[in-house]
Structure 1
């Protein structure tokens, strides 16, 4: 299968390209700039300008849309919020325009979304059918992202929308930022520590996208999260134990985070407890269903010294 990936040089796209290639598929990227020496062929496009290499879509049997500016980068100014929205909506509008034309063989589009659509869930376990969605910035942004992907189904395409949780990877994303103070002995739960974190190991996410691409039973929205979400306190404790570091500090108060991060503090203070039941019912088997095993795979035993008592239950 020929797979065209937007956002292919990002955290998920880079690993997904490797996983697809190792599975025997041919991968190409849609990129705004063409950097020499890339591992995958790249076609150029500019969603804001509405331009795209005319050979890009005809290359593909399937499209994976990961395009979207990083919500964790830069302050959420009015201009930044608009850029976050435009980077998602404009790319899907351009894909829709191209896929509406004859002369291609694309039958499947996997278009990324995020669990941010649910807003702050409290202790409630939410599913793909949970309504209403949240009403904070991330929820509004993600809802617009999904609405922009919806017209693709009207073209007769099989559209799959993985709502991605916090991706655990050493190459970027949230984990290195969370692990850095823990490694230095300054780790502490954030806010109340009771807010939920729904996570997924990057390799499980890539295997899930591969299944969505290759099996026609997948259609519509799915929560791309591991079956065992953890509270912020449980996650921080597990990370400290895997890194063999003590947690000596009290929780970092919410108001400190709000002062330091402004509106972006909602990313760490608004928890999301998200169900993986629909993905499991589809027959997908997680390689890393538990938090401890996922973290240990990323930080193998012996990587760090100063062992402490390993008392966290295996179900975390």
Structure 2
């Protein structure tokens, strides 16, 4: 029988693409969903309700692997104290629930692979090239990622191989980051945010899904891996490249820092700051990125 992989966040942007890749590679896929969904020939859906601390245990007991993708969007809403709590708990609470079910049933897994983020290195643009050994930051994003990964460590304490995929901006057609920014660039109103010097670690959705697949099949992988192209892309470079793909040069002035801070509040650091990130560790596993050129990666998402 095919090995079963259970996804949290399986109905989201990354989850949908990853589901297709896993099925193409001979795995059976289960997905935890808040709403009732009909099973297909390829995917089995199970209910979960984090507000009620509920997960259908059959989904956990059936799984050979679990991939944890669920989490509230970082830049969907202003960071009120409640919103920050929701962002953190939407990442850690599912892991804690899964841990309790695994522990109660003495259930083991071949591996537990969890999303994480390069935000663990903090919102601070500087000359550092962050590796997986770079100390975590103490700002909101850094602390959130630390707590996220500590929850994963609880799974590891059960003797289960764990992998943490630290992701940056994910480029995909009509989804994720590009879904938010492309409309303004398409209309000719795209511009540079703040100084434009902030780094924007990015990865194409196809490469990210392949990294998750590699984390499943490569039993030597464990711990954190940066899942971003090391090309030192800045917001200015990203913005100018998008404008060029729509056949114009940016003509609007840079969006002022103080305006972004007023409009976005504390969340503005997510777009005004960013660090360079090394992909050396994942490449040392033999992984080869399909998309390393920013313009080619963006073009593939716009066609």
TM-score range, shorter chain: over 0.9
Q: Give yes or no for the alignment of 1:125 onto 2:135.
A: no
Q: Is the Cα contact below 8 Å between 2:174 and 2:301 reproduced in 1?
A: no
User: What do the CA deviations read for 1:34-76 (whole angstroms, capped 9, x no partner)?
Assistant: 2346662111122342222121112111000011111222222
Q: Answer yes or no: is 1:273 the counterpart of 2:276.
A: yes
What residue number does 2:255 align with?
252
Deviation (angstroms), 1:136: 2.0
How many residues in Structure 1 have an aligned counterpart in Structure 2? Answer: 299
- Asked if residue 202 in structure 1 is aligned to residue 197 in structure 2, the reply is no
**Root mean square deviation, CA, Å:** 1.5
- Segment of structure 1 superposing worse, 203-212 or 53-62: 53-62
Query: Quick check: 182-191 or 160-169, which moved more?
Result: 182-191
State the 1:290 CA deviation: 1.7
Matched, 1:151 2:154: yes
Q: Does 1:167 align with 2:175?
A: no
Q: 1:134 deviation in Å?
A: 1.8
Question: Deviation string for 1:131-174 (max 9, x for gaps)?
Answer: 1x222211111111111111111111000000011000123221
Say if 2:58 is the partner of 1:52. no
Q: Secondary structure at the match of 1:230?
A: coil
Alignment partner of 2:139 out of 132, 136, 142: 136
Q: Deviations over 1:256-285 (max 9, x none)?
A: 111111111111001121111111111100
Contact 2:197–2:234 (CA under 8 A) maintained in structure 1: yes
Structure 1: gaps (5+ residues): 301-316
Q: How many angstroms does 1:221 deviate by? A: 0.2
Q: Given that residues 48 and 90 in structure 1 are in contact (C-alpha distance below 8 angstroms), is that contact kept between their aligned partners in structure 2?
A: no
Q: Secondary structure at the match of 1:181?
A: helix
Q: When the two structures are superposed, what TM-score results if normalisation uses the length of structure 1?
A: 0.90
In structure 2, the residue matched to 1:303 is none
Query: 1:83, 1:98 → 2: CA distance?
Result: 22
* Contact 1:60/1:105 (<8 A) preserved: no
CA apart distance, 1:289 = 1.4
* Residue aligned with 2:104, SS: coil
Deviation at 1:91, TM superposition (A): 0.6
Task: State TM-score, norm by structure 2.
Answer: 0.94
DSSP 3-state at the match of 1:42: strand
Structure 2 regions of 5+ residues with no counterpart? none
Instruction: Select 1:12's aligned residue among 14, 18, 41.
Output: 14
**Any idea what SS the aligned residue of 1:113 has?**
strand
